[in-house]
Amino acid sequence: MTIAITAATGQLGRLATAALVARGADNNVIALARDPAKAADLGVETRMADYTKTDTLVSAVRGVETLVLISSSDFNDRAGQHRNVIAAAKAAGVGRLIYTSILKGDASPLLLAADHKVTEADIKSSGLDYTILRNGWYTENYTGNLGPALAAGQMIGSAGTGRLSTAARADYAEAIAVTAIGAGHGNRTYELGGDTAYALADMAAEVSRLTGKQIPYNDLPPEAYAGILESFGLPSGFAAMIADADARASEGALFDDSGTLGRLIGRPTTTMAASVAAGLA
């Protein structure tokens, strides 16, 4: 079986490629990237593919049986970029498309979910066999900011006491590998989240415990949080989407207690404490 992964040089793409190689699929994996030279260290075949350049896509996925479409990180017509990949997959005769969507999918209230909702609908109407992985939040979305939090003496956000079912990127990458290689995942949609939910105050307490410093969690109104993110250099629209995600998390939008992710990958998901320790390291 030939498996191709888009955005293979991104954070999730690299981990998913490594997970496939670790499962012995390296001779059948193709890394797709805008700059194939940046994928040379992955140890698999590389091909040029750009979501925005449709002429590159059909040739890139020709002969591919399973295509992993990792959602674009470019918010300039993201749904349109995904649509280009779906059309190329259909034209090239790809057997199955795996898509990394968002937790709760078409029921998610997050602003970030809008493109995912469109893409899920496009995939289902394409006639392609599919597997939709509705990924929850990456724990690294928070642990990646621990340096500034320690410098400021506090963690900030707008999630209130909302419970977050996050998991490490490596956990979601394993889910990609499992569903790409394994049987029985055709035309299935999986809601994926970490095994144990927590609130951001719990993460702040863990940071305090590991560092020996008192790092409280300061909950802010979404508008204030977005303004601070903008002051850090984030574009205003993206800052607003991040703040919105936190605010919706306070209402349960990033909570999942199905245990599906752990069952798929055959092990417990990475704990928040382990991710915090890795982030601090």
Q: Is residue 248 part of a domain?
A: no
Closest CA to 223 of 236, 232, 205: 236
Q: Is residue 7 part of a domain?
A: yes
Q: Is residue 89 part of a domain?
A: yes
CATH number at 21 reads: 3.40.50.720
Residue 176 has pLDDT above 90, yes or no: yes
Residue 25 has pLDDT above 90, yes or no: no
For 192-241, the pLDDT digits (tens) are 999 999 999 999 999 999 999 999 999 999 999 999 999 989 899 999 99
Confidence (pLDDT) at 15: 98
Confidence of residue 26 (pLDDT cuts 50, 70, 90): confident
Q: Is residue 245 part of a domain?
A: no
Q: Which residues contact 280 (CB under 8 A, 6 or more apart)?
A: 143, 146, 207, 210, 211
Cα 227-228-234 angle, rounded to 5 deg: 80
For residue 92, give its domain range. 3-135+167-193+257-269
Confidence (pLDDT) at 218: 97
Of the chain, the percentage scoring pLDDT greater than 90 comes to 95
- β-bridge mates for residue 46, sequence order: 31
pTM of the model: 0.96
**Residue type, position 51, single letter:** Y
Q: Is residue 87 part of a domain?
A: yes
Q: Is residue 33 part of a domain?
A: yes
Q: Is residue 48 part of a domain?
A: yes
Confidence of residue 245 (pLDDT cuts 50, 70, 90): very high
Total domains in the fold of the chain: 1
Q: Is residue 35 part of a domain?
A: yes
For 59-117, the pLDDT digits (tens) are 999 999 999 999 999 888 999 999 999 999 999 999 999 999 999 999 999 999 999 99
